[in-house]
Structure 1
């Protein structure tokens, strides 16, 4: 089958159709998708009809899938596969959660970010599928920003300044920025990940920014100076000419490349409307046949959650 592509912006974002994602894909069909991703950075698929199992199997076409933290034997989980990250506002019973840690943790999703930048091994694709969404007038959309074109439009002086800079990233920093009561000393005691803030995107050969809400500091720069540079680069990348939003309907799936984009969740009344979103995350640089790597970074990371955003509590509440 042939992929049909309708661009959203001239070089960023596309609505795709023409492939049956519920069925196994041929090598050529997978290449059609990855080619579209390399060009547009974000692809949107309406009314996919995917089950949880099909969502996971489709995602395996693109590499090794990260897994949610391991639970004790017999512990209840809302979703049936560890490869599915729960991006909802629901508890284990499928009702809107009132768990304070879960609510506090999710506030960070409203900031411009790249998934898993706080891990040593970065995420390439995030593949988010909508199961239940608020009514269109209630919000809950997702915004995307084009980090490649934004980089290309920077003044040469700024490009020279940031060329070899390395960002220090923390999950807890983004939660603190979103209002969680986490001391900076606590953040520094927990895992940090260092990534160049400019890199060459492998699929397109274009340079891209890799910087967003998880980026706490820049190596070699004084704190205030580095943080101002981070804020300036995020503000530049999220200008209207580089961004679009997607308003979800049940069955919609969006794939975005974290190595070429930023994204953030839109506002909605968290306490009034169910929003059931489930995400797979593909590790950068892995081949589809590498199904097991033997590591488990999320279990180790979440075991050290600060109390204000205790991920174990958030997970137990269904997030």
Structure 2
């Protein structure tokens, strides 16, 4: 499966018989797993039995649907923006394995959309490629930046610049495939060495290019047990909304594998610091 996801970036397996334990066991075959222990210590109640599984559904620990005006709902709005997992932490994510446990009715939304950022690189004009390679731009990723974009009123008092950011090159070679890749996400707060205006202009140019329809794939969740595996280092993803959001339960659980490539820590100091649950 790892070899398949290296080629395609996203793999969909329907009607698996995985439970929490076998989900984790499968994920371990891809590498070392992230966990929710830092967030448990911070006071959030984890409703799942295993710390290696991230709760990315819309349910509270008591089984009720998340209140749309709650802090958790506001924070989760950032998941609707194209991003990669954990680029804002010192060590980024490699593979993510998302499994469905309970789904809303068909036609009410709740899909997961992906962008192929290797194909997006391939289609860049040569002048842009040369600019990215010669200047070796470094982007600074912040979970608070993307959350503030998605829910500006809720995060109005927070300045992302006051908090740690993950530093990664915009143009990278995807080691597993040997292809060049645009390492993009809405987490990107700024690009080093550029003015705020220049930074935003370059980000917008690349992000708008990489999210064109030709690079997109929406995965619809059909069955309990559907599993989607993706490589965060050659794809972006986002949660697709819909009328289900605060009416029907959606129980989704994700195992996240730490990146083990030479770019896993990129330009960041090795540290146990971890931000963000999603």
Q: TM-score, normalised by structure 2?
A: 0.89
CA distance in structure 2 between the partners assigned to 1:159 and 1:87 by the alignment? 35
> 2:97: which partner in 1?
127
Does residue 144 of the first structure (1) align with residue 114 of the second (2)?
yes
CA distance in structure 2 between the partners assigned to 1:236 and 1:81 by the alignment? 39
> 1:83: which partner in 2?
52
Compared CA separation, residues 185 and 126, structure 1 to 2 (3 A):
same
Equivalences for residues 144-293 of structure 1 within 5 A: 144-163=114-133, 164-180=136-152, 181-183=154-156, 186-249=159-222, 250-269=224-243, 270-285=245-260
Q: Secondary structure at the match of 2:237?
A: strand
* Equivalent residue for 1:117, pick from 78, 81, 87: 87
CA distance in structure 1 between the partners assigned to 2:42 and 2:158 by the alignment? 34
Over the aligned positions, Cα root-mean-square deviation in angstroms equals: 2.1
CA distance in structure 1 between the partners assigned to 2:130 and 2:140 by the alignment? 19
What are the Cα deviations for residues 212-261 of structure 1, in whole angstroms up to 9, with x where unaligned? 10011001111121112112211111111111101103211100100000
**C-alpha contact (below 8 Å) 1:67/1:296 kept by paired residues:** no
**Shift in Å, 1:182:** 2.6
Compared CA separation, residues 63 and 103, structure 1 to 2 (3 A):
same
Where does structure 1 differ by over 4 angstroms across 4 or more consecutive aligned residues?
72-76
* Equivalent residue for 2:18, pick from 24, 47, 50: 50
**Shift in Å, 1:153:** 0.5
CA distance in structure 2 between the partners assigned to 1:106 and 1:234 by the alignment? 21
Q: Structure 2 regions of 5+ residues with no counterpart?
A: 262-269
**C-alpha contact (below 8 Å) 1:212/1:230 kept by paired residues:** no
**C-alpha contact (below 8 Å) 1:105/1:175 kept by paired residues:** yes
**Shift in Å, 1:79:** 0.4
**Shift in Å, 1:168:** 0.5
**Shift in Å, 1:73:** 12
Q: Structure 1 regions of 5+ residues with no counterpart?
A: 1-32, 287-293, 303-310, 312-318
**Shift in Å, 1:185:** 6.0
CA distance in structure 2 between the partners assigned to 1:199 and 1:184 by the alignment? 34
CA distance in structure 1 between the partners assigned to 2:41 and 2:198 by the alignment? 44
Q: How many residues align?
A: 263
Q: TM-score, normalised by structure 1?
A: 0.78
**Shift in Å, 1:175:** 0.3
Does residue 97 of the first structure (1) align with residue 66 of the second (2)?
yes
Q: 174-183 vs 213-222, which deviates more? A: 174-183
CA distance in structure 1 between the partners assigned to 2:59 and 2:201 by the alignment? 36
What are the Cα deviations for residues 279-313 of structure 1, in whole angstroms up to 9, with x where unaligned? 01111117xxxxxxx96433xx35xxxxxxxx7xx
